[in-house]
Amino acid sequence: MPPFYVTTPIYYVNDAPHIGHAYCTVNADAIARWHRLAGDDVFFLTGTDEHGLKVAQAATANGLSPQAWTDELAPRFAGAWADLQIANDDFIRTSEARHHRTVQQFLQRIYDNGYIVSDTYRGWYCVGCEQYYAEDELAGDRTCPVHGRPAEWYEEENYFFRLSAFQDRLVEWFESDPGRILPEQKRNEALSFVKGGLQDISITRTSIDWGVPVPWDPRHVFYVWYDALVNYLTAIGYGQDDDRFARWWPAVHHLIGKEIIRFHCVWWPAMCMAAGIDPPNHVQVHGWLLVGGEKMAKSKLNQIAPGDLTVDFGVDPVRYHLLRDTPLGSDGDFSYEGITARYNADLANNLGNLLARVATVVGTKCGGVGPAPDPASRLAAVAAGVVAEASGAWEAMQPAAALEATWRLIRETNAALESAEPWKHAPGPAVDAVLGSALESLRIVALLASPAMPSTCAEIWRRLGLGGLPEDRRVPDDAAWGGYPGGLAVEKGAPLFPRRQE
RNA sequence: GGCGGCGUAGCUCAGUCGGUCAGAGCACACGGCUCAUAAUCGUGGGGUCGCGGGUUCGAGUCCCGCCGCCGCUACCA
């Protein structure tokens, strides 16, 4: 089985989980589920980023140690993902011992290779913020934009990563495979940044101690980004289990938001090179899920918690909407009108209603026993085309396109019923052929849509009378026309997606 | 300022190498059906493919200019 390693960024634990986080995580989950369905050996990783000044400050403000503080916060993310039926294989926290060990090993290696050097960091520093500011970030008279008091000129001995040494190799990496960073626009953005020249980066801090200690100089801790990125290696046994590491690396797919392109497409591959391992195979960049045209932010009070939506719409409809309405790469704008429209059109009217009408007619014309599909049905060709298109789209990390293709089979099946009108005819082979084919379409839809809506598709599977779960099947083999055996008891059940008013 | 991108039906968007490319879904209108969650099916778009030039037998699809919008231009988790 080919290895398929997919990651989300580790989320900064000081944030509350919101649908922007959920957007990325659900996409990664659906893609992971698709690859499991395709028979790949999948490892899906997410987690939390817990170091850094702001976390330490928040902990202090709450009268807790940073560790105790993050122990309280991390489960909010893990819990949010459990609620959304996210099937991650591991959940990593950067404060874990295993991660500290890997960071130290990895960065020691880079140090030994001569790519981390001691140098002096100079800049305008605000004591209140405990932070450096670039010249143009400061207000008039070089005052801190937050505190309004003058920043001070500081010089600090720091360790620097020699990013500048990797410009040529990074360009080579970018150009060795046009699919390295997708979509192409983001790739070009990152590439032009690299071509514009790279400076060395300060990667350690002495001002705080909530972080991973620098092994060769314990007065320092690593700057959060330099420890955070390494999580992708920690979880697959870097330095601990060489066979395991070799199985998953560099066959990785990093799913990230556009705001962290530089870290993942420039710093990270360079760090890997410096440590003597291959850079990641693929970085998939997604846009932002906006609310009212703006990025969600604590300060704007426009964050929407996933739980607020799932209580109202259900888990699978929320997952479906996130996957279907915002293709990876572009920004999306979340709205209740948007999710409601999608819910009614695609889930209630098309999918839910199709299952209901077919189940009813199977009940009246076939005594509730689902007939076998017609091998010569017009839908067979439609289904084959849909399977091919949806598969291609999932492979290309385009869940929206995959689902759009899948829904074409639903529409065609509704149309086929309309033209055959089995409810008007006496029971018999002709009616059986039409209804069996409709059931077969639903079976294939349940298979293809299961990465997006695992619970719903399992329920459809069950109502069709099929044993096991869609996720136990394999594509493309089990998506071939004719897989529905017939002779199974079909259950109508309550509406899968009750239509929503307004 | 520099580099890059975008501007196609009311809405969200597809449109590979220039020649049925003027499309899909939603919304809307009309008609059919009444098995189904007032769901579904069919039919309907006089859209200057941002504006103006150019190349070509022929351009959303290539070139130039203009207008409008957006992203990046480093040490922020």
What pLDDT score does A339 carry? 93
Would you say residue A153 has pLDDT above 70? yes
In a domain, A281, yes or no: yes
Beta strands per DSSP E along A385-469:
none
DSSP string, A477-493: GGGSTT---S-EEP---
A406 touches strand B (CB under 7 A): no
Q: How far is CA A32 from CA A254, A255, A283, in A?
A: 12, 11, 15
- Tokens for A482? 């004719």
Span CA (A392) to C1' (B55), Å: 37
Note whether A285 and A370 are same-domain residues.
no
Note whether A253 and A394 are same-domain residues.
no
In a domain, A340, yes or no: yes
pLDDT digits (tens, 9 = 90+) for A53-95: 889 988 999 999 999 999 999 999 999 999 999 999 999 999 9
A495 touches strand B (CB under 7 A): yes
Span CA (A218) to C1' (B46), Å: 76
β-pairing, A3-12 vs A41-49, is: parallel
Q: What would the mean pLDDT of A222-233 be, rounded to a whole number? A: 92
Name residues whose C-beta falls within 8 Å of residue A495's C-beta, 6 or more positions apart in sequence: A348, A352, A356
Give the domain range for residue A405. Answer: 336-489
In a domain, A319, yes or no: no
**Residues 335-374 of A near strand B (Cβ < 7 Å)?**
341, 344-345, 348-353, 355-357, 360-361, 364
A501 touches strand B (CB under 7 A): no
pLDDT digits (tens, 9 = 90+) for A314-362: 999 999 999 999 998 888 888 898 999 999 999 999 999 999 999 999 9
Span CA (A392) to C1' (B57), Å: 38
More confident residue, A105 or A207: A105
Catalytic residue list contains A298 = yes
A201 touches strand B (CB under 7 A): yes
What pLDDT score does A121 carry? 78
Q: Please state the three-class secondary structure of A134-201 as a single string.
A: CHHHCEHHHECCCCCCECEEEEEEEEEECHHHHHHHHHHHHHCCCCCEECHHHHHHHHHHHHCCCCCE
What pLDDT score does A215 carry? 94
Note whether A414 and A306 are same-domain residues.
no
What pLDDT score does A139 carry? 62
Span CA (A405) to C1' (B14), Å: 13
How far apart CA A95 and CA A18 sit, in angstroms, is 22
pTM of the model: 0.94
Q: What would the mean pLDDT of A262-290 be, rounded to a whole number? A: 94
Note whether A383 and A258 are same-domain residues.
no
Catalytic residue list contains A147 = yes
What pLDDT score does A84 carry? 97
| Set A24, A35, A126, A365: catalytic member | A126
- Count CB-CB contacts under 10 A for residue A499: 12
Percent of the residues in chain A that have a pLDDT greater than 90, as a whole number: 75
Note whether A363 and A475 are same-domain residues.
yes
Residue entry with tokens 């979340």? A334
Would you say residue A192 has pLDDT above 70? yes
Would you say residue A24 has pLDDT above 80? yes
A81 touches strand B (CB under 7 A): no
Q: What would the mean pLDDT of A302-318 be, rounded to a whole number? A: 93
Are A264 and A245 contacting, i.e. CB atoms less than 8 angstroms apart?
no
Would you say residue A30 has pLDDT above 70? yes
- Which region among A142-156, A263-277, A308-322, A483-497 has the lowest average model confidence (pLDDT)? A142-156
- Which region among A53-62, A63-72, A288-297, A447-456 has the lowest average model confidence (pLDDT)? A288-297
Catalytic residue list contains A365 = no
Catalytic residue list contains A18 = yes
**Could you tell me the pLDDT band of residue A137, with boundaries at 50, 70 and 90?**
low
Would you say residue A167 has pLDDT above 90? yes
How far apart CA A4 and CA A428 sit, in angstroms, is 47
Residue entry with tokens 């010249």? A135
Catalytic residue list contains A286 = no
Dihedral sign of CA atoms A86, A90, A93, A94 in order: negative
Q: What is the mean pLDDT of chain A?
A: 91
Note whether A233 and A124 are same-domain residues.
yes
Note whether A97 and A220 are same-domain residues.
yes
In a domain, A315, yes or no: no
Domain count, chain A: 2
**Residues 444-473 of A near strand B (Cβ < 7 Å)?**
none
Span CA (A39) to C1' (B48), Å: 51
- In this prediction the ipTM stands at 0.91
How far apart CA A215 and CA A193 sit, in angstroms, is 31
Q: What would the mean pLDDT of A31-52 be, rounded to a whole number? A: 96
A154 touches strand B (CB under 7 A): no
| Set A18, A99, A282, A321: catalytic member | A18
Reported as half-sphere exposure (CB side, CA atoms, 13 A), residue A315 has a value of 15
Would you say residue A483 has pLDDT above 90? yes
Note whether A118 and A181 are same-domain residues.
yes
- Which region among A140-149, A253-262, A293-302 has the lowest average model confidence (pLDDT)? A140-149
Note whether A298 and A378 are same-domain residues.
no
How far apart CA A46 and CA A67 sit, in angstroms, is 19
CATH number at residue A278: 3.40.50.620
In a domain, A502, yes or no: no
Beta strands per DSSP E along A88-129:
90-93, 116-126
In a domain, A317, yes or no: no
Chain B positions with any atom < 7 A from a protein CB:
3-5, 13-14, 25-27, 32-42, 71-77
Long-range contacts for A191-200 (Cβ within 8 Å, ≥24 apart)?
A193/A262, A193/A266, A194/A167, A194/A170, A194/A266, A195/A167, A195/A171, A197/A164, A197/A167, A198/A163, A198/A164, A198/A166, A198/A167, A198/A170, A198/A266, A199/A163, A199/A164, A200/A117, A200/A119, A200/A160, A200/A161, A200/A162, A200/A163, A200/A164
What pLDDT score does A128 carry? 62
Note whether A352 and A269 are same-domain residues.
no
Note whether A342 and A296 are same-domain residues.
no
- Tokens for A478? 């089990």
pLDDT digits (tens, 9 = 90+) for A395-441: 999 999 999 999 999 999 999 999 999 999 999 999 999 999 999 99
For residue A326, give the nucleotide whose C1' atom is nearest its CA.
B12
Would you say residue A147 has pLDDT above 70? no
CATH number at residue A353: 1.10.730.10
A293 touches strand B (CB under 7 A): no
What pLDDT score does A14 carry? 87
Would you say residue A176 has pLDDT above 90? no
In a domain, A350, yes or no: yes
A378 touches strand B (CB under 7 A): no
What pLDDT score does A298 carry? 72
Both ends of chain A: CA-CA distance in Å? 47
What pLDDT score does A138 carry? 61
β-pairing, A3-12 vs A369-370, is: unpaired
**Residues 121-140 of A near strand B (Cβ < 7 Å)?**
121, 131-134, 137
Q: What would the mean pLDDT of A369-392 be, rounded to a whole number? A: 95
Catalytic residue list contains A457 = no
What pLDDT score does A124 carry? 74
Can you name the residues that pair with A282 across neighbouring β-strands? Answer: A253
Note whether A300 and A382 are same-domain residues.
no
Would you say residue A178 has pLDDT above 90? no
For residue A499, give the nucleotide whose C1' atom is nearest its CA.
B37
Catalytic residue list contains A144 = yes
In a domain, A204, yes or no: yes
